[in-house]
Amino acid sequence: MTGALYLVGGDEWSPGCDFDAALLADAGTDEVLVLPTAAAYERPGVYVDRARTWFAPLGATVRGLPVHGRPDALDADHARAVRTARAIYLSSGSPMHLRAVLKDTPVFDALVAAWHDGAALAGSAAGAVVLFDHMVDARGGAYTVGLGLLSGFTVIPRVDTWSHDKVQRTVGLAARGLVVAGVPDRTALVHRPGSGWTVEGVGEVRVFRDGEAVGLDALPSIA
């Protein structure tokens, strides 16, 4: 059975992200492994430091794993660190870079294995949308190919920063039957084994299928 899954819209580790306390509880750990891969060109160390500052009052430590480029994702020591982690967090940044770095690598294989072994997995913005078969390209709102861990639905991260027209265009471009969930900043779409989907944080998640608004129950279950 998979561990908990936290799909965060964006602006991670900031006021309003109170769900991170639940993430630690779901993971049963006081250490979070942060992969700032998507932020490789945006001073990734700053992201790790922000995570440390955020999690410290929650009684947790943060380990930043320097998977910045594809050679890092091929490193056996990095893969072992991911495989043994109980809480794994993919930061925001560039989804295209994140996909290029992790695709078909030991680090991504280790992430999948850890999650299927019960580790909690969180991704924010790029770190969330890259996990899907259908990855929303925020630059224009069209779809491209993600890492394929999740199928049957996808997310629009940071949907609160999108115009109504752009959201409707992306929803309209979805393949028939594909569920699209718009997740705002500082908001998490959360799946816990045996409990289904919930929304936590400051915003409201909007869910669409075939161009129509639907409820959270339209989201596919995860084994």
- 15-63 tens-digit pLDDT: 999 999 999 999 999 999 999 999 999 999 999 999 999 999 999 999 9
Over the Cα atoms of the chain, what is R_g?
16
What was the pLDDT predicted at 16? 97
Q: Give domain status of residue 172, yes or no.
A: yes
Q: Give domain status of residue 164, yes or no.
A: yes
Q: Give domain status of residue 223, yes or no.
A: no
| Average predicted confidence (pLDDT) for the chain | 97
Q: What are 145-175's pLDDT values in tens digits?
A: 999 999 999 999 999 999 999 999 999 999 9
Q: Which residues is 201 bridged to in the sheet?
A: 187
Asked if the model's pLDDT at residue 223 lies above 90, the reply is: no
- Yes or no: say if 107 and 83 are a contact pair by the CB < 8 Å rule: no
CA angle 75, 78, 81 (to 5 degrees): 155
What was the pLDDT predicted at 138? 85
CATH number of the domain residue 193 falls in? 3.40.50.880
Q: Give domain status of residue 106, yes or no.
A: yes
CA–CA dist 82, 194 (Å, integer): 24
Residue with tokens 């705002």: 184
| C-alpha dist (Å) from residue 116 to 36, 120, 153 | 22, 9, 19
Asked if the model's pLDDT at residue 141 lies above 90, the reply is: no
Comparing C-alpha atoms, which of 141, 142, 125 is closest to residue 186?
125
Instruction: State how many domains the chain has.
Output: 1
pLDDT class for 139, splitting at 50, 70, 90?
confident
pLDDT class for 142, splitting at 50, 70, 90?
very high
Comparing C-alpha atoms, which of 162, 132, 128, 159 is closest to residue 145?
132
Residues 6 or more apart from 212 whose CB is under 8 A from it?
Answer: none
Domain containing 17: what range? Answer: 5-218
What was the pLDDT predicted at 1? 82
- Yes or no: say if 146 and 99 are a contact pair by the CB < 8 Å rule: yes
CA–CA dist 46, 50 (Å, integer): 6
Asked if the model's pLDDT at residue 197 lies above 90, the reply is: yes
Residue 175, token pair as written in the block: 């393949």
What was the pLDDT predicted at 71? 98
Q: Give domain status of residue 26, yes or no.
A: yes
pLDDT class for 209, splitting at 50, 70, 90?
very high
Residue 136, token pair as written in the block: 């929303």
Pick the residue with more confidence: 138 or 184?
184
SS3 90: strand
